[in-house]
Amino acid sequence: MKKCIVIGGGIAGLTSAVYLSKSGIKTEVIESKNKLGGRAYSIKDRENKTVIDNGQHILMGCYKETLKFISLINASDNFFYQRQLFIPFINSNSEIHYLEATKLFYPLNLFIGLLNHSFLNFSEKISLTTFFIKLAFSKNVDLNKLTVEEWLICEKQNENIRKTFWEIICVGTLNSGTKNASAQIFKDILKKMFLDGNFSSTLIIPQKGLSETYCQPANNYINKMGNKISLNENIIELKIENNSVTKIITDKRIIEDFDFVISAVPLTALTKFYSGDEIKNISLEYSCIISIHIWLKINKLKNKFYGLINSPIHWVFNHDDHITLVISDANYLIKKSNDEIIDMCFAELKKYIKTKREDIIDYKIIKEKSATFIPNVENLNKRQTTKTKINNLFLAGDWTDTGLPATLEGAVISGKKATDLILKTC
């Protein structure tokens, strides 16, 4: 029986291990931390007896491979699924406006939903609709050299549409603003989200902490198939002989009984144990996401989440016992102290959801400095393919060349691709 070592227990590594297990390949996942999940996990906040995520994660109906993976590990019931796109937006006067697909048939329901979006005037709505019609019929337009903002300006999207609609979509999907992100990758995901059926544009939200939502079910699946996950074990070096990995050196042992290796770690971690020519001298720039979990005396929010218009806080998620504020594209806040960040959040909450400082029982701030790589033109050109120059070494992870931004879907696709390549050689 062939054996594969998967390095990294984030969602990319777990996907590889689940599909390898399904195909009867002996598999071992080696994870350096004491828990699975990588950049998408949950912890128990002892003081407030609440499970919180390191960062709120949202999936979309267009996450086809993630949904298949979730179904395979029997975790589909751990998510809340929208029937059609519905996003409540709040402005700084605390007024709620809904972006909502109507009950009409697809794609008319989405277009009418856009036309009802009350932050835009009539001519802006027409301009947005024209944009989508053009997008639907555009085939091989090369946007590789443009930023999202340059593209939107070419497509006559004025400042108000860019600010109240496009900036929110761009930061929400790419964790990067329109001035920096590549137009090409943005165009590709817009097509997947809005032009691939009704379900694709819907949002899917984990109903439990992330670790319980998908890490534990993946762990159970891998164990049930007779395979193994080793935690607290750090890969130190891959020994290469005759163009193949022959030994894996960890901080606990030397592993020699394997046929294949999948590296499912970020580029920064990979360069510590592998120095192949393809990754020598490349580095990616990252974008931070800050999550602020707040426990309120009384939570008056009615919806599951809200988008905030023209605020440094992009989203507020309502978990009943606490709320989570999300600030994406947050490199500019990395050096700010927690006191400065929370002061800014209090000021915004007062305007947007009329919450006073005295209403707050407790809060916790989690800064994920390297949440996702920035999908700008330079970084996208540095992404690596699954196949390496080494015969039995394959790369996975959200930073590899999946054509998608750094997302759960990108990570799952990368893990599946690595497995498919291995299965082809067996």
Contact footprint for ligand FAD (CB under 6 A): 7-13, 30-33, 38-40, 54-55, 57-58, 234-235, 264-266, 269, 273, 289, 291, 368, 371-372, 397-398, 406-409, 411
Look up residue 336 and give its DSSP letter.
S
**Residue whose tokens read 């998620």:** 317
Nearer to ligand FAD, 32 or 116 (CB): 32
The span from the CA of 111 to the CA of 109, in Å, is 6
Strand partners, 373: 286
Question: In the structure, how many helices (H) and strands (E) does the chain have?
Answer: 14, 20
Return the SS3 of 390.
coil
**368: part of which helix (H) or strand (E)?**
strand 360-373
The least CB distance from residue 407 to ligand FAD, in Å, is: 3
Contact 154, 138 (CB under 8 A): no
Q: Angle at Cα 163 formed by Cα 159 and Cα 166, nearest 5°?
A: 105
Contact 79, 207 (CB under 8 A): yes
**123: part of which helix (H) or strand (E)?**
helix 122-137
The least CB distance from residue 134 to ligand FAD, in Å, is: 27
The least CB distance from residue 173 to ligand FAD, in Å, is: 9
**Residue whose tokens read 């806040």:** 333
The least CB distance from residue 210 to ligand FAD, in Å, is: 9
Structure tokens at 82: 């929208």
Q: Which of 221, 323, 266 is nearest to 32 (CA)?
A: 266
Nearer to ligand FAD, 240 or 289 (CB): 289
Nearer to ligand FAD, 124 or 212 (CB): 212
The least CB distance from residue 118 to ligand FAD, in Å, is: 26
Nearer to ligand FAD, 56 or 109 (CB): 56
Side-chain-side CA neighbours of 371 within 13 Å: the count stands at 30
Nearer to ligand FAD, 27 or 109 (CB): 27
The least CB distance from residue 391 to ligand FAD, in Å, is: 21
The least CB distance from residue 248 to ligand FAD, in Å, is: 10
Nearer to ligand FAD, 161 or 380 (CB): 380
Nearer to ligand FAD, 103 or 335 (CB): 335
Nearer to ligand FAD, 143 or 238 (CB): 238
Strand 228-230 versus strand 26-30 pairing type: parallel
Return the SS3 of 337.
coil
Strand 323-327 versus strand 286-296 pairing type: antiparallel
Structure tokens at 327: 């600030």
The least CB distance from residue 112 to ligand FAD, in Å, is: 27
